[in-house]
């Protein structure tokens, strides 16, 4: 059993930063290299990463890695996982798993064939508020679940790759709605309760978008799922919400209700006439009353999910459903069904787990 996991990062921007932050809090993981086309000096200097590469293939070949954190744009997830798996290296893949069902399925199949682990970095499953919510559900706090709704929304992505449907795989509903879809699958679905129908509505991309006319994918998306046992679930994601990233979940049961606020639930209230430097992600105005995040990376689940993945590598244990390749694949499959529903103007029937 390994005492310490050697980690390589692919990417150097926002996602790479919170991956590195999480690893920096651990005693059993060392980030030994980072590969990216830009920002290498900044991220390697910030976290003391000894080796930098412009080519992730060279990094995988030379660094004797145990684990790769894939923090690159969506269209690169597939080739990086395949390259890492071929070298016997486990992968943590940021959301969404891939830009197509076919790519996601190949990533899962290749990882299984090569006996390498494919971790799907769905942070909601490790967010402290949602871990507590899961415990409340397990003790029957709201009785039988009837309906759940979940959303992640903000005012728009700054990534040119996320703004482009070809490199993103879709628009906001794939890029951010995947959080809600995966978590809903985890809470309500799995083997004995698959999703059996989906109905989606989205803006059309480009000039058909509400605000972001330069985005080739949709800037607003919503969808209803029905599970085999009868529960309904609603997922929403958009780039039309001002005031900071707003992640909320509501659970309605026969004996009660749970409402969760992941991003505006800080214990700190601040009034500043001058304005503060930062409150929460995507908040572009921080004057007057704000609720500054205390430890945003931890509260959104990034830290504990990385600790969990590293422990899986050390213990040679497969990840649980929801943060594995299987759940990542199911999420892409369901979102593609939402897109099909929107295009055809009708409910799509099937079975997705």
pLDDT single digits (tens) 99-139: 999 999 999 999 999 999 999 999 999 999 999 999 999 99
Q: In what order do the strands lie in the sheet with 195-202?
A: 257-261, 246-253, 145-153, 232-238, 220-227, 195-202, 348-352
Cβ-defined contacts of 263-269 (< 8 Å, 24+): 263/293, 263/300, 264/291, 265/129, 265/291, 265/299, 266/291, 266/292, 266/293, 266/294, 267/294, 268/292, 268/294
Outline which parts of the chain fall under CATH 3.30.360.10.
Answer: 125-301+332-352
Residue 101 Rama label (left phi>0; alpha psi -120 to 50; beta) = alpha
Confidence of residue 190 (pLDDT cuts 50, 70, 90): confident
Distance CA 318, CA 82 (A): 18
Outline which parts of the chain fall under CATH 3.40.50.720.
Answer: 5-123
Helix (H) or strand (E) holding 136: helix 128-138
Q: What are phi and psi of 188, to 5 degrees?
A: -110, -25
Predicted local distance difference test score (pLDDT) of residue 226: 98
**Whose CA is closest to 334, among 178, 168, 107?**
178
For 36-61, how does the pLDDT look when each residue is reduced to its tens digit (9 = 90+)? 999 999 999 999 999 999 999 999 99
Fold topology of 125-301+332-352: Dihydrodipicolinate Reductase; domain 2 (3.30.360)
5-123 homologous superfamily: NAD(P)-binding Rossmann-like Domain (3.40.50.720)
Say whether pLDDT at 1 is over 80.
no
Angle at 269 between CA 267 and CA 270, to 5 degrees: 145
Q: Using N-to-C axis directions, what is the helix angle for 14-24 and 302-315, rounded to 10°?
A: 60
């Amino acid at each position: 059993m390994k005492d310490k996991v050697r980690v390589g990062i692919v990417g150097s921007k926002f996602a790479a930063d919170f991956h590195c932050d999480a690893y920096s809090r651990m005693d059993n993981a060392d980030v030994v290299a980072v590969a990216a086309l830009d920002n290498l000096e900044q991220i390697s200097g910030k976290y003391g990463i000894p080796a930098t590469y412009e080519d992730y293939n060279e990094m995988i070949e030379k660094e004797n890695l145990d684990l790769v954190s894939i923090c690159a744009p969506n269209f690169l997830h597939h080739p990086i996982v395949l390259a890492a798996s071929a070298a016997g290296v486990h992968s943590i893949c940021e959301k969404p798993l891939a830009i197509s069902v076919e790519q996601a399925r190949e990533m899962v199949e290749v990882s299984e064939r090569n006996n390498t682990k494919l971790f799907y970095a769905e942070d909601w499953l490790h967010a402290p508020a949602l871990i507590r919510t899961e415990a409340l559900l397990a003790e029957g706090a709201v009785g039988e679940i009837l309906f759940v709704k979940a959303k992640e929304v903000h005012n728009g992505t700054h990534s040119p790759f996320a703004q482009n449907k070809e490199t993103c795989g879709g628009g906001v509903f794939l890029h951010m709605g995947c959080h809600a879809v995966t978590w809903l699958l985890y809470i309500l679905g799995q083997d004995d309760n698959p999703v059996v129908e989906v109905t989606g509505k989205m803006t059309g991309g480009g000039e058909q978008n509400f605000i972001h006319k330069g985005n080739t994918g949709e800037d607003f998306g919503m969808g209803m799922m029905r599970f085999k046992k009868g529960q309904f679930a609603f997922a929403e994601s958009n780039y039309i919400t001002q005031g900071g990233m707003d992640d909320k979940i509501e659970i309605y049961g026969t004996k009660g209700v749970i409402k969760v606020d992941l991003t505006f639930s800080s214990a700190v209230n601040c009034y500043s006439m001058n304005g503060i430097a930062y409150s929460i992600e995507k908040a572009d105005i921080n004057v007057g009353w704000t609720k500054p995040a205390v430890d945003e990376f931890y509260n959104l689940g990034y830290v504990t999910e990385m600790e969990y993945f590293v422990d899986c590598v050390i213990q040679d244990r497969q990840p649980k459903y929801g943060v594995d390749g299987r759940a990542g694949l199911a999420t892409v499959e369901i979102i593609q069904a939402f897109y099909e529903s929107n295009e055809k103007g009708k409910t799509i029937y099937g079975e997705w787990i």
